[in-house]
């Protein structure tokens, strides 16, 4: 591409717009699902927590499969195009299920959405990376950060507005809006199809055989059936998610044994980072499970005593802070680099754990400030999200960028999917553990109950985060040694290849 050396190539700009539309559609729907299942479909708190955990986990865990299919069989652009088509259908079907309060249809709709996420999650990063020239990697990292910030802007807008719009459009109206937003992305893919294919992988530029398409359709039907089964059988389904996540990591270990010596060292570093990510994203998973239930039960409906907010919109604080803090974090990184300080990604994770510890300490402390109305101020939840969002932003999309740089290109989409596998495993673990704070319907929330159930849970999470900060610091040194060894071997191999043979 002619602009591949620019700061933001044309396709990168289109992909960033696509990220805004996707973020608005997906997270706007996500933020409504907890109360939709609690109030409309009459699920218990424990069932709803598990459903949200499974919904958050299914797409990421299947994204490794989707990345593998994109790498080997259909191409990255096709994976995104097909996935976003299914998204559009899934949101529309969810709207239909909500209009009739049809539980099986609603579950099938979120199964479609989970499948779409699994198929298409990793490929946009591959397309974004390929839109930059090989010697323009610093701009690629900046593009990833901007893409992440724009995703948060779309997420914030929909998470704040969708709950208010329920009063006017009901749940189905919001789900139809999400479907419309996804349909706009399909228009972009059609308009710029040739440019997308140019930054896809080699398979995108070749025709796919009928045999491969047949296997893809059959595999998709099986995958969709498994996702539907998981959502319909949450107690047993979580074990399937565990197995898929562990299986994906096992396949990555198998590929390590086949890689060149240089990549072996680098990929071992990636493997350790995945463990760190699983623990870190466990805290991210709390925002959509225990923190969300806590806010729905106890958060007041005004911010600073002035700004109206729905309790289920508390999740909007996360993308708001990520968007607001994105620029300052980038500035601080730039300032540190000028000072010759460049923390490794694992070291950044260690700092992130400290901020998570502060966030959950504040959450536990908030239980002592329940007002006469039986609610805590929304300000508490705002500042909890400030520290948790800062933790998230410190590492941001860097995990995906790090993995992209550390693995062979033929494994790029699959390996980026391992970040999502970490997100999936941590998400389902977060849901399973969060069911400990699930309360029966219509229970009276006394101060004693609040402290016994919520406070002890959140303070324990804070202590674990502090422990992980020190563990991660130790592991960061191991990762650094592995990467340095891999890069040394790579340079030696390049030198040998350039040496004339006699």
Instruction: Say what the pLDDT of residue 21 is.
Output: 92
Q: What does the pLDDT average to over 412-441?
A: 77
In a domain? residue 59: yes
pLDDT tens-digit map of 138-184: 677 677 777 777 887 888 888 888 888 888 888 899 999 999 999 99
Q: Whole-angstrom distance between the N-terminal and C-terminal Cα of the chain?
A: 39
For the stretch 184-230, pLDDT in tens is 999 998 898 888 888 777 888 888 889 989 999 999 999 888 888 98
**pLDDT, position 6:** 66
In a domain, 502, yes or no: no
Q: What confidence score (pLDDT) does residue 473 get?
A: 85
137 falls in which pLDDT band (50, 70, 90)? Answer: low
Q: Work out the percent of the chain whose per-residue pLDDT is above 70.
A: 91
Q: Answer yes or no: is 245 within a domain.
A: yes
- Confidence class of residue 1 from pLDDT cuts 50, 70 and 90? very low
Structural domain contains residue 4: no
What is the dihedral sign for C-alpha 35, 326, 281, 18? positive
Number of neighbouring beta carbons within 10 Å of residue 48: 25
C-alpha 50/C-alpha 489 separation (Å) is 46
Indicate whether 2 belongs to any domain.
no
Q: What is the pLDDT of residues 223-274, one digit of tens each?
A: 888 888 988 887 888 888 788 778 888 888 888 888 777 777 787 887 888 8
pLDDT for 54 equals 83
In the chain, % helix, strand, coil (3-state, to 5) comes to 85, 0, 15
Residue 316 zone, left/alpha/beta (φ > 0; ψ -120 to 50; rest): alpha
Q: In the structure, what pLDDT confidence band is assigned to residue 452 with cuts at 50, 70 and 90?
A: confident
- At residue 2 the predicted structure's pLDDT band, cuts being 50, 70 and 90, is low
Length of the chain counted residue by residue:
502
- The pair of three-digit structure tokens given for residue 214, joined into one six-digit string: 């047949």
pLDDT-derived band at 400 (thresholds 50, 70, 90) equals low
Phi (first) and psi of residue 376, to 5 degrees: -100, 155
- Helix residue spans in 192-204 (DSSP H): 193-198
- In terms of Cβ atoms closer than 10 Å to its own Cβ (0-12, 13-18, 19+), residue 187 is exposed
- pLDDT for 501 equals 57
Percent of the chain surpassing pLDDT 90: 18
State the burial class of residue 254 (Cβ atoms within 10 Å of its Cβ: 0-12, 13-18, 19+).
Answer: exposed
Helix/strand/coil for 53:
helix
Q: How far is CA 300 from the centre of its chain?
A: 28
pLDDT at 326: 73
Query: pLDDT tier at 497 (50, 70, 90 boundaries)?
Result: low
Higher-scoring residue by pLDDT: 493, 71: 71
Mean pLDDT score, 119-137: 76
Q: Is residue 244 part of a domain?
A: yes
Which domain, by its residues, includes 341? 10-497
Confidence class of residue 102 from pLDDT cuts 50, 70 and 90?
very high
* Segment 119-138 mean pLDDT: 76
Is residue 5 a part of any domain in this protein?
no
Q: How far apart are CA 105 and CA 376, in angstroms?
A: 36
Highest mean pLDDT among 9-18, 50-59, 108-117, 326-335: 108-117
- Indicate whether 397 pLDDT > 60: no
**Mean per-residue pLDDT over the chain, rounded:** 83
Provide the pLDDT for residue 85: 93
More confident site: 410 or 457: 457
Q: Residues 21-41: what's their mean pLDDT?
A: 89
| pLDDT recorded at residue 320 | 84
- In the chain, the number of structural domains is 1
Determine, yes or no, domain membership for 1.
no
Where residue 173 sits, what CATH number does that domain have? 1.20.1250.20
Task: Report the predicted TM-score, pTM, of the whole model to 2 decimal places.
Answer: 0.77
Tell the residue number behind the tokens 């300490």, with chain if given.
361
Question: Cα separations (Å) of 444 from 292, 420, 447, 488?
Answer: 18, 38, 10, 63
Q: ∠321-327-329 over CA atoms, to 5°?
A: 80
């Amino acid at each position: 591409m002619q602009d591949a050396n620019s700061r933001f190539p044309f396709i990168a700009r289109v992909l960033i717009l696509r990220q805004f539309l996707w973020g608005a559609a997906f997270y706007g729907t996500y933020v409504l699902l907890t109360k939709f299942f609690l109030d409309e479909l009459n699920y218990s708190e424990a069932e709803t927590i598990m459903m949200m955990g499974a919904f958050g986990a299914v797409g990421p865990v299947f994204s490794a499969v989707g990345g593998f299919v994109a790498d080997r069989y259909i191409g990255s652009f096709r994976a995104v195009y097909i996935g976003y088509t299914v998204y559009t259908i899934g949101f529309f079907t969810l709207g239909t299920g909500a209009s009739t309060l049809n539980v099986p249809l609603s579950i099938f709709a979120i199964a479609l959405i989970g499948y779409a996420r699994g198929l298409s999650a990793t490929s946009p990063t591959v397309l974004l990376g390929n839109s930059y020239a090989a010697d323009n990697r610093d701009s690629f990292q900046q593009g990833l950060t901007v893409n992440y910030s724009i995703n948060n802007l779309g997420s914030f807008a929909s998470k704040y507005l969708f709950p208010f719009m329920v009063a006017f459009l009901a749940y189905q109206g919001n789900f139809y809006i999400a479907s419309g937003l996804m349909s706009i992305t399909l228009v972009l893919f059609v308009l710029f199809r040739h440019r997308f294919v140019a930054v896809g992988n080699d398979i995108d530029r070749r025709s796919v055989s009928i045999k491969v398409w047949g296997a893809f359709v059959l595999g998709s039907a099986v995958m969709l059936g498994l996702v539907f089964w998981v959502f319909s059988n949450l107690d047993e389904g979580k074990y399937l998610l565990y197995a898929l996540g562990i299986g994906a990591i096992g396949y990555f270990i198998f590929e390590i044994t086949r890689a060149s010596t240089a990549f072996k060292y680098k990929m071992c570093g990636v493997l350790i980072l995945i463990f760190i990510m699983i623990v870190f994203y466990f805290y991210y998973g709390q925002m959509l499970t225990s923190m969300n239930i806590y806010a729905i039960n106890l958060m007041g409906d005004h911010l600073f005593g002035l700004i109206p907010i729905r309790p289920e919109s508390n999740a909007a604080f996360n993308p708001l802070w990520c968007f607001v803090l994105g620029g300052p974090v980038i500035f601080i990184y730039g300032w540190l680099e000028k000072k010759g300080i460049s923390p490794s990604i694992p070291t950044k994770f260690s700092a992130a754990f400290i901020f998570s510890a502060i966030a959950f300490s504040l959450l536990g402390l908030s239980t002592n400030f329940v007002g006469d109305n039986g609610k805590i101020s929304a300000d508490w939840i705002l500042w909890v999200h400030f520290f948790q969002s800062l933790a998230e932003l410190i590492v941001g999309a860097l995990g995906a960028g790090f993995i992209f740089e550390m693995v062979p290109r033929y494994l790029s989409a699959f390996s980026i999917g391992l970040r999502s596998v970490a997100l999936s495993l941590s998400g389902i673990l977060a849901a399973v553990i969060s069911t400990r704070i699930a309360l029966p319907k219509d229970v009276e929330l006394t101060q004693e109950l609040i402290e016994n159930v919520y406070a002890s849970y959140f303070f324990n999470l804070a202590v674990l985060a502090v422990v992980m900060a020190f563990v991660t610091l130790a592991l960061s040194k191991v990762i650094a040694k592995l990467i340095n060894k891999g890069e040394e071997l790579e340079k030696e191999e390049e030198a040998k290849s350039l040496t004339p043979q006699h």
